[in-house]
Amino acid sequence: MAKNLKWEAEVSTTLQKATADQIWPLFQDFFGLHKWFPGLATCYGIHGSNGEPGCMRYCSGSGGLKREGNNNTNNNNDDGDSNLSWSKERLVAISGAQMTFTYEIVDCNIGFESYVSTVTVVPGGGRGCTVRWRISLDPVVGWKLEDLVCRYELGLQRMLKKMEASIFGF
């Protein structure tokens, strides 16, 4: 029997005003994703020091990624709400010089297995920057890769809009 291939995709968004040097510090706060990501109500550290490889965060919210009929029996979510999507994520690597970090999902109720993601902030040469978000995971039953990519594109756009608004006060 042939093994399913991994899903791999990359989304990106370009900002015209905020520079890489302004956006990167917001991503370095690994435990602070809830400040920026739409629908994510909670994000906090559960292991290690924020921004250090090996640290882990717990994230939950109403992001709409929860799989119906999820068979994950390890529901160690602290929120007590079975309607919330949640994940536990480990920072694998981070480079301030290259403005990139990689993380993996170690447990979740959204059906993601073997999930690894890399976010890179690319300077735009003066003003502006581009943020690239690359994902790799096993296919998710009941999902199409194209639909997941659309959610990531929209999520990244909304997140960067909030980040840029915080920098410029609009």
pLDDT by residue for the chain (170 residues), tens only, comes to 456 699 999 999 999 999 999 999 999 999 999 999 989 999 999 999 999 999 999 999 985 555 444 434 344 444 455 678 999 999 999 999 999 999 999 999 999 999 999 999 999 977 899 999 999 999 999 999 999 999 999 999 999 999 999 999 87
For residue 157, what are the CA distances in angstroms to 22, 32, 95, 96? 16, 17, 23, 22
Query: What pTM does this model have?
Result: 0.88
Q: Which of 104, 161, 96, 167 is nearest to 138 (CA)?
A: 104
| Strand spans (E) along 20-70 | 40-47, 56-61
